[in-house]
Amino acid sequence: MPLLWDENHKQVGLCVMGPVGAGDKLVWMSAWAWQQQDDGKIAASTGDAGVPVKGARPLRGKDKPPFRAPNKPKWMVQTGFRRGSARYDPHKPVLVQAIALMEVAGQSAIFQWSQAVRIEHGY
């Protein structure tokens, strides 16, 4: 997952993203990310798909829901730091949780995803 940086090269959050299954439509998504620091502090950020984080790069059309393959085969959520959050350590894993409203085979359903991820780069 890429770190989000502002124009002064200050972290403003984390960009979380993933694939959309063939035939699925992701209508909306919210995401939370957090990381335990060695000093006991917590880095934590949250966001909603289609809502830009202040200071991060502007969202493009492909970054906004709904997401559906083949035109938008990946979902993306910019997450911004919560008040009092530490900054992410790019050498440690981050726990990410996302909840989405999906349309699958013509029916609506809520899907939840949670996984430890690695920070690879930033933009």
Assess if residue 37 is contained within a domain.
yes
Assess if residue 50 is contained within a domain.
yes
What is the tally of structural domains in the chain? 1
Assess if residue 91 is contained within a domain.
yes
Could you tell me how far CA 85 lies from the centroid of its own chain? 16
Q: Distance (Å, rounded) from C-alpha 81 to C-alpha 111? A: 24
How does pLDDT run across 15-47, given as a tens digit for each residue? 999 999 888 999 999 999 999 998 999 999 999
Assess if residue 12 is contained within a domain.
yes
Q: Distance (Å, rounded) from C-alpha 63 to C-alpha 31? A: 14
Assess if residue 100 is contained within a domain.
yes
Give me the percent of the chain exceeding a pLDDT of 90: 88
18 in Cβ contact with 75 (< 8 Å):
yes
Beta strands at 94-104 and 67-68: parallel, antiparallel or unpaired: unpaired
Which residues form the domain of 40? 3-117
How does pLDDT run across 45-71, given as a tens digit for each residue? 999 999 999 999 999 999 999 999 888
Assess if residue 59 is contained within a domain.
yes
49 in Cβ contact with 64 (< 8 Å):
yes
Assess if residue 77 is contained within a domain.
yes
Supply the Cα-derived Rg of the chain in whole angstroms. Answer: 15
Assess if residue 123 is contained within a domain.
no
Beta strands at 107-117 and 11-19: parallel, antiparallel or unpaired: unpaired
The whole model's pTM is what? 0.91
Q: What is residue 89's three-state secondary structure?
A: coil
